[in-house]
Amino acid sequence: MSAIDAYVSNEPLISNSAPGKDVFAKILGVPFDFTSSFRPGSRFGPNSLRNAFMNIEIYSHTLNIDLEKLSYLDLGNLQTADVMRMVKRVEEVVKEIVPAHKMAIMGGEHSITYGAFSAMPEETSLLIFDAHFDLRDELLDLKFCHATYLRRLLEVRKPKNVMVVGVRAGIQEEWEQAAKEGIQTITMDDIMNKSVGSRLEDFVGKSEKLYVSIDLDVLDPATAPGVGNPEPNGLSSKQLLAYLYTLREADILGFDIVELCPPYDNGSTATLAAKLMAEMLCIAQ
């Protein structure tokens, strides 16, 4: 029995089957938030994103790509309530999918990325959009959680290139750890001072393959209130989409959209997450 058959359950799905088009991407929901430290509820994120996705237009005028003319398969939701079992199952499922298909994951909390990126080939670079570094050594007595996943990942694997865009919050140790690990950063101070330049394009150009993780708290809470750990002074939706469009020439193996927290949402965050899902599928195809 495959990992998909063993661990994944059917849910309301956003699959599309276009005549004569093979499936290019597989989509997985991971409704997991058991280590959330502030606002729980991201376990409801995958189905909230699906509901919004089914009610937006999925033709990208910017990219001139129509998802209705492409085939992609929604596998449903992965089931587990244990964090280490969750990341292991995510890794097993993703390994069955990549590199034959692109991988798209809907969270759930950010610890999901540990499992997904662990399944990527060694030459894969990691690009993260996030308000936080997630480089704590522990939080609330947890050595592995949404706020420590990147530190744990870097302890067992050293991607050639790691960049965090939109970062603006963290304890002093995390900023020091980021410098120690050689993590490239584009902070909100950089963005506000217009000192970003071509750093993101240079990062992408040096990345043979790419995995992209989008924590929705990279956005300003005024734009995206429905997240687990909101942080003021974030990106606008226009800014985030502009950064994503710079990835159109990259070889993106997979991506995730995490920390959508419907109990704190008015619908705008889910709709924006669905828009990001549609544009990222277009970019990755």
Nearest to 151 by CA among 131, 129, 136: 136
Q: Average pLDDT, whole number, for the chain?
A: 95
Second CATH level (architecture) for the domain 3-122+136-159+210-284: 3-Layer(aba) Sandwich (3.40)
The distance in angstroms from the start CA to the end CA of the chain is 29
Residue 174 phi/psi, 5-degree rounding, is -70, -40
Q: Where are the domains of the chain?
A: 3-122+136-159+210-284
Task: Give the DSSP letter of residue 219.
Answer: B
**Omega before 99 cis (within 30°)?**
yes
Task: Give the DSSP letter of residue 203.
Answer: H
User: Which 3 state secondary structure label does DSSP give 218?
Assistant: helix
User: In this structure, are residues 101 and 26 in contact, taking their beta carbons and an 8 Å threshold?
Assistant: yes
The pair of three-digit structure tokens given for residue 108, joined into one six-digit string: 């759930």
> Looking at residue 194, what is its pLDDT?
83
Percent of the chain with pLDDT over 90: 89
Residue 81 clears pLDDT 90, i.e. is over it: no
The pairing of strands 162-167 and 184-187 is: parallel
For 170-219, the pLDDT digits (tens) are 999 999 999 999 999 999 999 998 888 789 999 999 999 999 999 999 99
For 175-184, the pLDDT digits (tens) are 999 999 999 9
The pair of three-digit structure tokens given for residue 154, joined into one six-digit string: 């870097």
CA 276 to chain centre: 10
> Looking at residue 137, what is its pLDDT?
96
Q: Residue ranges of the alpha helices (H) in the chain?
A: 3-7, 45-53, 83-97, 112-118, 149-156, 172-181, 188-192, 199-205, 237-245, 268-284
User: In this structure, are residues 8 and 73 in contact, taking their beta carbons and an 8 Å threshold?
Assistant: no
Residue 147 clears pLDDT 90, i.e. is over it: yes
